[in-house]
A and B are shown apart, each in its own frame.
Chain A
Amino acid sequence: GIQVEQSPPDLILQEGANSTLRCNFSDSVNNLQWFHQNPWGQLINLFYIPSGTKQNGRLSATTVATERYSLLYISSSQTTDSGVYFCAVEANSGYALNFGKGTSLLVTP
């Protein structure tokens, strides 16, 4: 099946810092989503971005489908950004989202 690799696995930032999270995938995809899992376990949709660039407030994402990677940018980080960020892709052949193992982010005051 399709492989999804996220980096870095862990990240500690001071409030106000910027960061870039990366997602590499091994095959062509129909769908790519970024999620934030908050400390209460809820999965929050950040971006649906199979290609191109999108921005939502302090967050933005870029997917380069031809090179099989996506980037999530977090600017001016806040303590509420803490949690785990997942990249998930849907292969051309299936329904399922295939998740990476996530990047665990801790933003300190």
Chain B
Amino acid sequence: DAGITQSPRHKVTETGTPVTLRCHQTENHRYMYWYRQDPGHGLRLIHYSYGVKDTDKGEVSDGYSVSRSKTEDFLLTLESATSSQTSVYFCAISESLASNEQFFGPGTRLTVL
């Protein structure tokens, strides 16, 4: 199994508070992704990174920011959490675009009250 961990695994927070989710990989893969999974929508891309300090927006990026200061860590921040951001968040990694097989972490369940 790919070495991907996510922390925390579960979090309950209140509307308006900042939240940071962490993805850590031990595979030295260049590409990292954040997705959210919601009922009826499958998984949708929030942001992705194609290298240290190189990030770009995905389909559902509003209300989220990301940072990648080291190859192994990709952080997702909700600056001011809203109830619509209650979801399960998955991190994924891939080694190259030529063969962009993505491997997923265990997920973080976030509830915003």
* Chain A positions near chain B (C-beta within 8 angstroms): 1, 30-31, 33, 35, 41-43, 45, 48, 86, 88, 90, 95-97, 99-102
| Interface contact B104-A43, CB-CB below 8 Å | yes
Whether B107 pairs with A41 at a CB distance below 8 angstroms is: yes
Q: Which residue in chain A gives the minimum CB-CB distance to B56? A: A95
In the complex, 18 of the A-B residue pairs with CB atoms within 8 angstroms, ordered by the A residue number, are: A30-B97, A31-B100, A33-B101, A41-B106, A41-B109, A42-B104, A45-B101, A48-B101, A88-B43, A95-B31, A95-B56, A95-B100, A96-B45, A96-B48, A97-B33, A97-B35, A100-B42, A102-B42
CA distance A53 to B1 in the complex (A): 23
A55 to chain B, nearest CB (A): 17
B86 an interface residue at 8 Å Cβ cutoff? no
Q: CB-defined interface of B66-104 with A at 8 Å, one 1/0 digit per residue? A: 000000000000000000000010101000010111111
CB distance from A28 to the nearest CB of B (A): 14
> Within the complex, what minimum Cβ distance (angstroms) separates A2 from chain B?
11
B residues near A, CB below 8 A?
A: 31, 33, 35, 40-45, 48, 50, 56, 58-59, 88, 90, 92, 97, 99-104, 106-107, 109
- Chain B residues within 8 Å of A42, by CB: 104, 106-107
| Residue of B31, B43, B107, B109 contacting most chain A CB atoms (<10 Å) | B43
Q: How many contacts A-B (CB < 8 Å)?
A: 56
User: A106 CA to B4 CA in the complex, in Å?
Assistant: 28
Report whether A96 and B33 are in contact in the complex, using a CB–CB cutoff of 8 Å: yes
Contact of B43 among A45, A48, A95, A99 (CB under 8 A): A99
Q: How long is the Cα–Cα vector from A88 to B102 in the complex, in angstroms?
A: 10
Interface pair A97/B107, CB less than 8 Å apart: no
Interface contact A86-B45, CB-CB below 8 Å:
no
**A42-B106, A42-B107, A43-B104 given as contacts; is B88 within 8 A of A95 (CB)?**
no
Are A101 and B42 in touch, CB under 8 angstroms?
yes
Contacts of A90 in B (CB 8 A): 100
Q: Would A43 and B101 be within 8 Å (CB), given that A99-B42, A101-B42 are in contact?
A: no
